[in-house]
Chain A
Amino acid sequence: MDKDILEHGLTYNRRRFLSRLSLGLGSVALGSLMIPDLFGSASADAPFTPGIPDFAPRAKRVIYLFQNGAPSQLESFDYKPKLREMVGQELPASVRGNQRLTGMTAGQSSFPLVGSFYDFKQYGESRAWISDLFPNTAKIVDDICIIRSMHTEAINHDPALTFFQTGAQQGNRPSMGAWLSYGLGSENKNLPAFTVLLSRGKGNGQGVYSKLWTNGFLESTHQGVQFSASEDPVLYLKDPEGMNRFERRKMLDKLAELNNLSYQEFGDPEINAKIQQYEMAYRMQTAVPEITDVSKEPDDIIKMYGPDCLVPGTFAANCLLARKLSENGVRFVQLYHQGWDQHGNLPNEMAGQARDVDQASAALITDLKQRGLLDETLVIWGGEFGRTNYSQGNFNKDNYGRDHHPRCFSIWMAGGGVKPGVYGETDDFGYNIVKDPVHVHDFQATVLHLMGLNHEKLIFKHLGRRYRLTDVSGKVINDIIA
């Protein structure tokens, strides 16, 4: 006992305590040296270099055929024979669960199921089911990957669209095209890296706004440039009347001198961005007319896309233009085709919408393929959410409408390292996902991945917070990558 007490004193004197403590702290300090971003900022170790991919990309360019208004998955790519069998019966409460409804059907006392007015058939190696509304898409089925298990968080058009494009529902964040322009830079310095093309079908439509192609807090050179159907595809590109190209050059040089002076005084990077934009506009003066001129396209091309491709402002014309822009190194070509919001009169309106886009969408894939470009160009086709399996308002078998449905919808992707096939599955009611769900952030992470960017590293610090396209989530869907 005596010995123990004595020993205790020896064991726990101050010197030993301190030396042990310092040893322990030393160990922790040694360990912490191996955590690269414990003390420094994330960028201290491996700085993200804008303009260069993190790793070898599968796709160099994206063409996004956005079907604005949300086409019904139940009349396109998600075949649900059960809905036809159960037509008119109530949607079981157990299937609906706690899914919120929009203001448009919240007051509805019953939710009668309704099956597709259009028949489906199986196509290609994947035996994918595709509705009769999309005969041309069916022909390219072996080139596309149909994802039937997309889901989103928003239930109304604007937030859902904004979410798809910018990764946040509220807006003011950079659009996907702006992020890619920032992350990868431009291939062709004579054209913007991010362009936008609009078209409108006859169906019930929803607006699109320039906030969808905004650069947000990124430098304004990354903003989407809209090509319009008018005589001046890009506004304010032409020299003003009475000014020739030589004078324009002189004016730009003088302007750049002045801008440089004010840059030296204020150091605002936006001044440099401005100089660059003027210079690009100058180069675009020759590059754009060459690209928007479709008069030299061979007859085969016009037959492929359909003769509407020669009518500026149609979806077909925009698809053709998208191919030309992409072929010339535009990183991200964003199309919007409006008119897919079929709350009523769905069979009729959707047939019209499908007629507008089916041939040209398929032609775009074939066209890229025959130029050896499909393997480096990622094409995406899809809307912002899905549509309900029950009818909105009064219905009968051949005239009904569908409300917004965020829990599941279908999109397709092609080329750019995507493995053709069918991915994901919904239940027999086409209401909930049962296999391989893909969240919008997963989709965005996958697109960035295909472009050679790690979505967790593509970061921009703004107002003290680090921002990503995928915010704080998103995982790459490796199963759809070839």
Chain B
Amino acid sequence: MKINLKGLAENLLFTLDVFLLFLLFFGSKVSIPVWLQPLGRMHPMLLHFPITLLMLAVLLEFFRFRATYAKETLYLNFTTGLLLTGSLLAAVTAIMGIFLSREPAYGGNMLGWHKWTGAGVVFAASLIYWSREKSWYKAPLAGTGALIVVLGLIFAGHYGAVLTHGENFVMEPISKTAAGSKVPLEDARVFEDVVMPIFSQKCLNCHNPDKAKGGLVMSDFAGLNKGGKTGKLFVAGKPEISLLLQRLHLPEDDKKHMPPKDQTQLTAGEMDILYHWVKQNAVTDKKVADLPADDSLRMVSAVYLAPAEVPDEDYDFGAADEDDIRKLSNNYRVIYPLARNSPALLVNFYNKANFKPELLKELEPLKKQIIALNLSSMPLKDADLKLISGFRNLRKLSLNYSDLEGPGLQELTGLEHLHSLSLSGTGVSAKAVHDFLKKSMVKHLALWNTPVKDKQLQQLQRDNRQVRIEGGFRDEGKPIKLNQPKLNAEGSLYSKPFRLEATHPVRGVSIRYTLDGSQPDSLNSALYTAPIPVGEDIVFTARAYKKGWTASDPLVLPLYRNSHKADSAVHVQGPRPDLNGGGPPALIDGRFGSLNIYNGFWIGYVDNPMESLLFYKQPVEVSSVGINVVSQVKNAFFPPLSFEVWGGPDKQHLRMLGVVRSGAFRQDDPEKIYNIVVRFKPVRLSCIRVVARNLKKIPSWYPDQKMKPIMFVDEVLVN
């Protein structure tokens, strides 16, 4: 079979069409290998051929059916060849274009339009080629096809040009400067350097003296002030009713929203600037630095003028030998890469007991790659810094709590990449830091907890404005309240005499205490020096004191002896159900109510007295029975009127052992928690009955006669 060039080309065209179709539908999943990228980048070069060839081919095709040409073999053959070549080149170009489009620089609507019009041209041209010999293919079809291809070429070409050269490429030399470089904050003028650049970048394309859409010219203040057809742009001082801001804030789909939907939109920060600018009467003559420090316009402008963040660094050194890294890395000198595919290394030292300067010296083979070094808490001396001066690419160095005194810092001035240095907790002097900063490029310096005084720190900051110096927490002398001491006793009950220990976590604190419930003071009350023997009922009250600090809140712990904890308890006449303190065991649960009555430990009686029975499995010898009560007149919480104690071997054989009666209640009775104790001759018993009679009627002197008295009792103490 003779090799048929035309047949080969036709097959190739078919192949490329299918391939293109595939790319169009699965393009988003395709990743272009690096070696194909140059091919993609040839797209802008190659595209000129298919444009010209196809233009010419469809022009010939358009006139093909004219009587004069219809019989011309040369004309027909030439057109066929031209169309085939043009289509083929168009397909190749389109495929290259898709390769190119996968590079990160491209995206957005414009690309979509370009892609689909371009592909459309390829398929339209191919279709014409495949169908042009068919019987139904006549002059009108030929004409339409040709027109479609030409239009496709024009649009695809236009969109492509916009992609490559930008929207305003042709007119750009005429329209004035757009995005200028940003000026430093100190020199920036509010209108010229902050407000106007926003208009220039985002509005001027349509609202310039040449185009002036809506009659609006935004190229200078006069034009802005004048406004357009719809009216004035802004009312000075009133952003809320200003047309400018209304248009900006309309939903993007709204026809009146500005800038129009497919144009670059204003950022939130830029809108803030315009808002505050209008609010401040659209000033034109002020510098940003003239505005007060807490002024909103100044703040948003400062953000706008701040230099853009530097992208991730590209390092100009190669990777280290992996064997070296493995050999040098261990549990106390950890070496790890910054990221996958990055040559940069980070090194941390741990365990100061093992540290020797030689460990730093050993890092020599990696000196190019180390960009961060953490030597915090290592016993590093000034002389050792010489070893670090060889790490030319060091960015970040942490020397917190090392043994530095300062002179060695000079060794670090040659590290031109070093931008962050931490010296907190070291002995560096203000002078050493000053001398270092004169020659160093460092941008961030931590100096907390060093001999550098506040004043010196401020001076250093003034002299080195390019450096952010972190002075850290400075004690303003405002006293801080101490926390309460800690005791070795948890609850208020104890069964055997013991020693009460008090401690405080803060160094140098003194603890003063009383045992009678009175408030301790810093001068006269007993100073805690050794554990206190406890055998009686006491109320231990303690506060912590330290010079320069506020005394702690008093810690109050009543300590009651309860030698014989009952094994069980039942109510004969119970408390009000919602104040049951957790049921009968609340009398013997070892948990005490506090002055915050509703903590759930108190047992409250309103309509009936308290009457309960306590049982012991084994008889115990008892000489006193007490009950814990509270007096809080303001809430109508009154202690019992009387407290009776009965005892015996079981509940059928009880005899009264004693009774205590309260005096009359008065309005100025102090708020307190205390014990009512009934004492008697020692007696062996297995059952105790306690009865506490409550006040039923509110006293006549009580201000609020509607209140009902409540009697709260808690733990029963048997000794």
Contact = CB atoms under 8 A, between A and B. Distances in A.
Contact of B23 (A24, A31, A56): A31
Given A20-B11, A27-B15, A372-B446, A34 B32 contact: yes
B135 A370 contact: no
A372 B424 contact: yes
B471 A189 contact: no
Interface stretch (B479-487, B604-612, B681-689): B479-487
B285 interface: no
B316 interface: no
Contacts of A369: 446, 470, 472
Give the most central of B134, B313, B420, B448: most A CB within 10 Å.
B448
Interface string B604-623: 00000000000000000000
Contact of A35 (B30, B449, B475): B30
Contact of B506 (A302, A363, A482): A302
A287 B134 CA distance: 87
A20 B130 CA distance: 14
Nearest to B134: A4
A300 B507 CA distance: 12
B11 A482 contact: no
B446 A56 contact: no
A307 B342 contact: no
A372 B312 CA distance: 20
Give the most central of B31, B312, B444, B505: most A CB within 10 Å.
B505
Contact of A56 (B312, B448, B449, B481): B312
B280 to A, nearest CB: 16
Contacts of A207: none
Interface stretch (A47-55, A243-251, A467-475): A47-55
B75 interface: no
Contacts of A303: 473, 475, 480
B334 A329 contact: yes
B338 A53 contact: yes
Interface string A258-288: 0000000000000000000000000100110
A302 B506 CA distance: 8
Interface size class on chain A is: 35 or more
Contact of A370 (B11, B19, B448): B448
Interface string B51-74: 000000000000000000000000
Interface in A22-58: 23-24, 26-28, 30-31, 34-36, 38, 49, 52-57
Interface string B267-288: 0000000000000000000000
A34 B30 contact: yes
A153 interface: no
A367 interface: yes
A31 B26 contact: yes
Nearest to B25: A31
B195 interface: no
A232 to B, nearest CB: 18
Nearest to B398: A372
B666 interface: no
Contacts of B444: 372, 375
Contacts of A372: 398, 400, 420-422, 424, 444-446, 470
B339 interface: yes
A1 B136 CA distance: 11
Given A1-B135, A370-B472, A27 B19 contact: yes
Interface string B122-149: 0000000000011100000000000000
A201 to B, nearest CB: 15
Contacts of B422: 371-373
Contacts of B26: 31, 35
Given A23-B18, A283-B331, A329-B350, A307 B482 contact: yes
Given A28-B22, A52-B340, A371 B350 contact: no
B505 A311 contact: yes
Contact of A311 (B299, B448, B483): B483
Interface in A8-28: 19-20, 23-24, 26-28
A406 interface: no
Interface size class on chain B is: 35 or more
B33 interface: yes
A298 interface: yes
B78 interface: no
B674 to A, nearest CB: 26
A328 interface: yes
A188 interface: yes
A371 B448 contact: yes
B337 interface: yes
A187 B334 contact: yes
Contact of B31 (A27, A28, A34, A287): A34
Given A27-B15, A372-B398, A327 B135 contact: no
A185 B336 contact: yes
A30 B32 CA distance: 12
B355 interface: no
A27 B22 contact: yes
B14 interface: yes
Interface in A92-133: 125, 127
Interface string A49-75: 100111111000000000000000000
A35 B29 contact: yes
Contacts of B22: 27-28, 31
B119 to A, nearest CB: 14
Nearest to B299: A125
A56 B334 contact: no
A367 B422 CA distance: 13
A199 to B, nearest CB: 14
A190 interface: yes
Contacts of A208: none
A54 B338 CA distance: 9
A265 to B, nearest CB: 28
Contacts of B29: 35, 38
A435 to B, nearest CB: 9
Contacts of A192: none
B30 A55 contact: no
B348 interface: yes
B309 interface: yes
A62 B599 CA distance: 39
Contacts of B338: 53, 56-57
Interface string B458-496: 000000000000111101000011110010000000000
Interface string B504-531: 0111000000000000000000000000
A310 interface: yes
A41 B295 CA distance: 57
B205 interface: no
Given A23-B11, A311-B483, 20 more contacts: A24-B18, A27-B16, A27-B22, A31-B23, A34-B31, A35-B30, A38-B29, A52-B339, A56-B342, A187-B348, A299-B507, A307-B505, A307-B549, A363-B473, A367-B472, A369-B472, A370-B470, A372-B424, A372-B446, A373-B422
**Interchain residue pairs A-B with the least CB separation, the first 4:** A370-B472, A310-B505, A372-B422, A370-B448
16 contacts: A23-B14, A26-B15, A31-B30, A35-B29, A35-B31, A49-B340, A57-B338, A187-B334, A189-B334, A307-B505, A366-B473, A367-B473, A371-B422, A372-B398, A372-B446, A375-B420
Interface of A: 1, 4, 7, 19-20, 23-24, 26-28, 30-31, 34-36, 38, 49, 52-57, 125, 127, 185, 187-190, 283, 286-287, 295, 298-304, 306-308, 310-311, 327-329, 363, 366-367, 369-373, 375, 452, 482
